[in-house]
Chains A and B, each alone.
Chain A
Amino acid sequence: AQRVTQPEKLLSVFKGAPVELKCNYSYSGSPELFWYVQYSRQRLQLLLRHISRESIKGFTADLNKGETSFHLKKPFAQEEDSAMYYCALSGGNTGFQKLVFGTGTRLLVSP
């Protein structure tokens, strides 16, 4: 069964500190992994996806198939990064599959 685990409900850091939001998944095939973010009073939106290998707002995430992880990292946190972050997984080689979300991690960046 597909499963996404985000072990931290809350991550609190100071501005300028490095950030790592953890995400582990369970899936037997080749998954698509995503990070979605919800800023205060805004819609849930895509932050990045592993297939794009991009850096968005200074965040990166590397898919580690050996450890089944897709941790989100940023070297220097900013106050505007404070938000709710969700890791999500989809998979399957035969068309439409479910998108499974983790329970989310609230990132709080203090000045």
Chain B
Amino acid sequence: NAGVTQTPKFQVLKTGQSMTLQCAQDMNHEYMSWYRQDPGMGLRLIHYSVGAGITDQGEVPNGYNVSRSTTEDFPLRLLSAAPSQTSVYFCASSYEGGFDQPQHFGDGTRLSIL
């Protein structure tokens, strides 16, 4: 099993560009989520999904969109990249039960916005 797979691993964007960070899991997990990690701060929840077709906002959702058309995939879209979105992004998944269950993380995507 690959677990949680994130692509790309690194990306540099110019301000105003849009892009999609991909996340896929092969564990048939219902719950998926996106976090960002900034220097000196803990991981902060951006968006999450409790199953296909259902998404909700986390702590820092502004500037990001998500969708969940399949159980396996949970892409994160940056609509118009801003330097403040320079961060490391982590995707995670878990079994039913939500955040009281162990989260399985991907390797992360390091994103730089110039």
Interface residues of A, Cβ cutoff 8 Å to B? 4, 32, 34, 36, 43-46, 49, 51, 86, 88, 90, 95-104
Contact = CB atoms under 8 A, between A and B. Distances in A.
Nearest to B37: A101
A49 B102 contact: yes
A100 B60 CA distance: 12
Contacts of A97: 98-100
Interface of B: 3, 31, 33, 35, 40-45, 48, 50, 56, 58-59, 90, 98-100, 102-108
A63 to B, nearest CB: 14
26 contacts: A36-B103, A43-B105, A43-B106, A44-B43, A46-B102, A46-B103, A51-B100, A86-B42, A90-B99, A90-B100, A95-B98, A96-B31, A96-B48, A96-B50, A97-B99, A98-B45, A98-B58, A98-B59, A98-B99, A99-B33, A99-B45, A100-B42, A100-B45, A101-B43, A102-B42, A103-B40
